[in-house]
Structures are given as structure tokens and as C-alpha cells.
Amino acid sequence: MNGRRTGTVTMHDVAARAGVSIKTVSNVVNGYPYIRATTREKVESAIAELGYHVNVSARNLRRGRTGLIGLAVPELSLPYFAELADSVIRAAEARGVTVLIEQTGSVRERELEVLAGQRRMFTDGLIYSPLALGPDDVDRLAAVDYPMVLLGERIFGGPADHVTMSNVEAARAATQHLLDLGRRRIAVIGAHAGETVGSAALRLQGYREALEANGVPFDPALVGEAGLWHRATGAETMARLLDADLGIDAVFGLNDALALGALHVLHARRVDVPGQIAVMGFDDIDETAYSSPTLSTVHPGREQIARTAVDLLLARIDEPGADRPYQQVVADFSVVARESTLGDQAPAEPTPAG
């Protein structure tokens, strides 16, 4: 049922008949632009005369454009990734492209599966947000032979266009917001001990830079470890920090889910927020504008990230052979101050609350 059944015509045979290199045959077969018309004709004639078939038409499907792009994210049950997926889908839709979403569960093996050729032949390109891969995997990424755009903070300077948040600067600004309110015992929730790459390390760095710039000593006891960045782990870490009686007057959750879990514990223990403890998150997911109190957070430019990633990917798809240098785009961010840090002084939300 596939090409092999016709017999034994190979790409070598086509190249020999057409008097060109195998690479040229491959380029014609794969639809690359910038091939001389006469060369293309010679190759196509040889293909027709010999009855040559590309092995399974997966490549043809891809080169012929499916109108689909892939988006691989760690976890859709994390609201940030669900909302990012939604933004990518809308940005792609505005450009007439459909998105197929794959979830990797932050599991290394599954992050690698997403890259595998068989999975990728259904889409014209991939927007890829790994959480388990790291700098050591740059070679694997360099080996992919389809258009790809990287998201996230695991791999910098890799062999692909890359869109990332302004993690260090945004975390510094978030911490500065807490410092400006007079808080000095600022706990962090969501650190990953021993990690030197990724969002946790970068945001912790921003936190430390803000402390240092304000002459506030760094106290490792205030740094709360959390594995997954979920509401449940945020709640657990908050409870542990409270039990340790550290004189905390503020909490910086390294993402909103962690901060919302912390808010839950503070509410259950009748701790006044922000009176006794101010709370800050990161991501500006929809939920933060509706929690009680509403959650101060960092708006990390999600729509900009989505739009930029789609545009970079489509540019690569349109010029598969182009030898442009890889771009790194850092999204704009802003601190969104709400009730969990400002209390009654928080500006009214655009929701009909009053």
C-alpha cells in the first residue's frame, strides 16, 4: 500500500536519471523554494518516468501544508497553560491556522515524544513549551527538521526562535511592590532547590535582586520549596511557613496557583490579607481578578507571547529554507496591584462589583 510496493526505485535512481544530487531530489520532493525551474523539471520528469514514490506521504502532507500547527504544553489543568493555549489558538485563528494541542505532563520522555517525527508529520510546525528538558537537550532540538518556536525558561540560546517572559525583571518588580508597602519579611513559595534553570530559579533571582537593592537581608528560611506549581502545593507550603513562625509579613507565590493556595490557607487560619500578610502571585490568570481578596500579580504578556510565537512560527513555515538567525523575544510585563496587597486601596476592577 505504500511506496515500497511498486518495486525498488529509490531517490538515488531519480538523482542518477536527472543528473542531479540526491540532496536536490530531496529538495524538490520536499517542496523547498529556490530551486531552478529547469532543475525542478528534470527531477520531476525522472520521478514520473521511474514511477518513484516518496515513502509514505507523511512528508508530502507536511510540505503540502496541513494548515495545522502543534502546541505542546506541560499541563492544561494549570490555568496559565490553559489560558496560554486559548491565546495561541486565537492568535493562530486570526491567521487562518488551526492548533492541535498536546500535553506532556512535564515528563521528560513525553516531551521528547512530542518532538518525534511521526507525531510531527500532521502539523506544519510546533510551538513547544518544555518543562523537563534543559540546556543539555539543545542537540536534540537542533536535530528537528521542521519549523519550531520555543516558549518558556528551560532553554535559552537554543536552535530555535524563542519567546520568553521577563522573569527576573518581573519578579524583581513584584518584590519591589511588596517592599514599597513596607514589607520586609517576604516569603517565597515555589522554589526548586538545586535548579539553576527554569522559571523558579529566574524568579527567585529577581526576588533576591530586589531585596539586595533595598538593603534587606536574604533569609533562606523564608524560601518555601514546592514541587508542582499547583494550588494544593501552594497551600501546603504556606501552612508549613506559618507553622515555622517566621514573622512573615508578605508572600510571593512564584505563580498564581501557588499564591491562591496560600490565600486559601491564610483565610482558613483567619490571617488578615493584606493587613497581616500581603500576597503576590505571578501570571495574571483570570481567576486572580475574582478571588477574595483579588490577587495582586504580574501580567506576563500572555497574548503578546502567543501572537509573537505564532508569527515567528508562520514566518519559518513560509520560508523553510531561510537561513535567518534565531530570534529571542522577551514579552512586556506589568505589575497588577489588587486587594491582596493594597486592601481597600485597590483600584476598582472592571467587573461590576460596586
**List of residues contacting its own copies (CB under 8 A):** 1-3, 5-7, 29, 47-48, 51, 53-54, 56-58, 60-61, 66, 68, 75-77, 79, 82-83, 85-86, 89, 93, 98-103, 105, 113, 118-119, 122, 230-232, 235-236, 239-240, 260-261, 263-265, 267-269, 286-287, 289-294, 351-354
Buried b (16+ CB within 10 A) or exposed e, 148-180: bbbbbbbbeebbbbbbbbbbbebbbbbbbbbbe
Q: Where would I find the beta strands (DSSP E) of 176-231?
A: 186-191, 223-225
Smaller CB distance to its own copies: residue 7 or 33?
Answer: 7
Give least dist CB 353 to its own copies, A. Answer: 3
Q: How far apart are CA 299 and CA 221, in angstroms?
A: 28
Give least dist CB 113 to its own copies, A. Answer: 8
User: Which H/E stretch holds residue 297?
Assistant: strand 297-299
Give least dist CB 122 to its own copies, A. Answer: 4
Smaller CB distance to its own copies: residue 93 or 195?
Answer: 93
Give least dist CB 205 to its own copies, A. Answer: 28
CB atoms within 10 A of CB 92: 24
Smaller CB distance to its own copies: residue 166 or 294?
Answer: 294
Q: Torsions phi, psi of 98, nearest 5?
A: -100, 145
Smaller CB distance to its own copies: residue 191 or 285?
Answer: 285
Give least dist CB 214 to its own copies, A. Answer: 31
Q: Which residues make beta-bridge pairs with 336? A: 297
Question: Whose CA is closest to 52, among 2, 6, 16?
Answer: 6
Smaller CB distance to its own copies: residue 158 or 293?
Answer: 293
Smaller CB distance to its own copies: residue 72 or 210?
Answer: 72
CB atoms within 10 A of CB 101: 16
Q: Please give the single-letter amino acid code of residue 22.
A: I
Give least dist CB 300 to its own copies, A. Answer: 16
